[in-house]
Amino acid sequence: MNVAPDPKSIPQGTLLSPEAGQAAAPATATGVLTVDLDAIVANWRKLEKTAVPAECAGVVKADGYGCGAEQVARALSNAGCKTFFVATLDEARAVRAAVPTTAAIYVLGGFFQNTGDAYAKIDCKPVIGDLNELAEWDVFCRRSGWSGGSAIHIDTGMNRLGMTVTEAQGIVPRINAGDHGITLVMSHLASAELLNNPANARQLTAFREIASLFSGVPASLANSSGIFLGAQFQFDIVRPGCALYGINPTPEADNPMQPVVELKARIVQIRNIERGDTVGYGGTWTARRPTRIAIVAAGYADGYFRAASSNDGTRGAEVVVAGRRCPIAGRISMDLTAVDITDLDRNAVRRGHMVTLIGEGITVDELAHHFGTIGYEVLTSLGRRYARIYKGGNATGEPPAPPPAEPAAAST
């Protein structure tokens, strides 16, 4: 049973977790990243419903898009997710420790030489995108007797990883012969977030034709944005990633997903400057009036990119201070960011208070716009100096037990 901590035992300045019984952020934390696992689960359920009858997997690569692969995988598994995708074997190890042995884990980054034993040890499947990889995997399986299966990745227009359609056609006789060990055939959309991009239809046609030759093998094409292109893109398994974490998979329309992360950073100093004074490296921002500046303990080393800086001609990003948006003043540096708080009541904020960098209306996608990038990069760049707090989703629980065996059928 979770028990709320005794307030008298908490050091002054400690940041409490939003839920009783979960670890509190230490008073020494310069910033706090809160991950709402229940929101991730809600997003997965929405995607699952949108893709019915296709299975909805979970892409948890890059440490769960910066949100914590083990915590995210565990929460999704508890919600019913049975298939996970990662990029590397190391990521697969972390996810395997968090999910039941019955869950399938696919490694997207390809099969490296002499790594078969590592796949077998944790029971995960390589996504094979090259005939040489396939030959090496076959040698390992024959020598070891391993029969855990693998996926085949076919390139239909991304020109990144994957066999050509012609190469994939060459292994169709293997499919027809049976006992082929291939558990999934997949491709990846290059422009799914652009609803009317003709590349989507071309890739769909190419994949449908080749996947139809892989008789009896489940097929997967749709990423987060691909799910919203329609049922014809969804096949047997969909592979949402960014949408799970609150990034808008439909940038030409309103975001259908719930926000997942909140990011706060601590004010380490408040200072007054005179009209005409400059702030930050290069003196690119000049005070046009007597100004109060809050110095916040977050910078580009923490994933708060320098591109969101402001200068005398360009307004940069904003943060929320005491419930109100305030603009960044000058260049963001490695560890610190200056914020103009002149318009706040003087008693509204003081040293040690937290400001909101993501949350309270500031979305990951908005911040990505100021950074000149995409929400994926924002989330995966969040620094390790932030204390992390998890809300909901069995955040501190043990890996779920495998489902109970089916009862034996009664004799007749």
- Mean pLDDT over 223-234 rounds to 98
What pLDDT is recorded for position 44? 98
Mean per-residue pLDDT, 367-393: 95
- 61 among known catalytic residues: yes
For 5, the token pair is: 């901590």
CA distances from 135 to 7, 111, 139, 163 (A): 62, 10, 6, 13
> Do the Cβ atoms of 226 and 243 come closer than 8 Å?
no
Same domain, 225 and 270: no
- Domain finish residue from 245, 270, 300: 245
Are 118 and 175 members of one domain?
Answer: yes
Q: Give the number of domains in the chain.
A: 2
Same domain? For 210 and 77 the reply is yes
The CA radius of gyration of the chain, in Å to the nearest whole number, is: 25
Please provide residue 331's backbone torsions phi and psi, each rounded to the nearest 5 degrees: -80, 135
* Helix/strand/coil percent split, the chain, to 5: 30, 20, 50
Over 70: is that where the pLDDT of 212 sits? yes
Local confidence band at 16 (pLDDT 50, 70, 90 cut-offs): very low
Tell me the pLDDT of the chain averaged across its residues.
Answer: 91
Q: Do 212 and 292 have their domain in common?
A: no
CA distances from 230 to 45, 54, 204, 254, 355 (A): 17, 12, 11, 17, 40
Least confident of 113-127, 298-312, 386-400: 386-400
| Same domain, yes or no: 207 and 288 | no
Quick one: CA dihedral 157, 163, 168, 170, positive or negative? positive
Q: Which domain does 270 fall in, by range?
A: 261-391
Structural domain includes residue 14: no
Helices (H), 172-326: 172-177, 198-211, 224-227
- Same domain? For 297 and 173 the reply is no
- Tell me which of 84 and 1 has the higher pLDDT: 84
Cα–Cα dist 69/83, whole Å: 14
Q: Given its phi and psi angles, is residue 366 left (phi above 0), alpha (psi -120 to 50 degrees) or beta?
A: alpha
The Cα 272–Cα 295 span in angstroms is 11
Query: 5 by DSSP, 3-state: which?
Result: coil
Last residue of a domain, one of 221, 245, 269: 245
Residues 149, 225 share a domain: yes
Of 156-160, 239-243, 400-404, the range with the lowest mean pLDDT is: 400-404
> Would 22 be classed as within a structural domain?
no
Q: Are residues 62 and 157 in the same domain?
A: yes
pLDDT value at residue 23? 52
Please give the average per-residue pLDDT across 47-59, as a whole number.
Answer: 98
Does 61 fall in a domain?
yes
Instruction: For residue 266, give the H/E element and its range.
Output: strand 261-273
Tokens, residue 339: 């914020």
Residue 389, Cα to own-chain centre: how many angstroms?
Answer: 16
pLDDT, residue 24, reads 64
> Is residue 411 predicted with pLDDT exceeding 80?
no
SS3 labels along 50-89: HHCCCEECEECHHHHHCCCHHHHHHHHHHHCCCEEEECCH
Q: If 0-12 CB within 10 Å is exposed, 13-18 middle and 19+ buried, where does residue 341 land?
A: buried
192 and 87 within one domain: yes
Q: Which of 46, 61, 125, 264 is an active site residue?
A: 61
Looking at the structure, tell me whether residues 232 and 147 fall in a common domain: yes
In this predicted structure, what is the pLDDT of residue 54?
98
Neighbours of 6 (CB within 10 A): 7
Q: In CATH, what number is assigned to the domain containing residue 224? A: 3.20.20.10
- Distance in angstroms (rounded) separating the CA atoms of residues 320 and 284: 22
| Closest-CA residue to 356 (of 313, 294, 270, 307) | 294
CATH code (residue 333): 2.40.37.10
- Does 226 share its domain with 271? no
Strands (E), 83-208: 83-86, 104-107, 125-128, 150-153, 182-186
Predicted local confidence at residue 1, as pLDDT: 34
**Mean of pLDDT values over 223-239:** 98
241 and 307: one domain?
Answer: no
C-alpha distances out from residue 122 to 62, 75, 76, 97, 102, Å: 19, 20, 19, 9, 11
Collapsing DSSP states into helix, strand and coil, what is residue 218? coil
Q: Is residue 251 part of a domain?
A: no
**pLDDT, tens digit (0-9, with 9 covering 90-100), for 79-131:** 999 999 999 999 999 999 999 999 999 999 999 999 999 999 999 999 999 99
For range 389-412, the mean pLDDT: 51
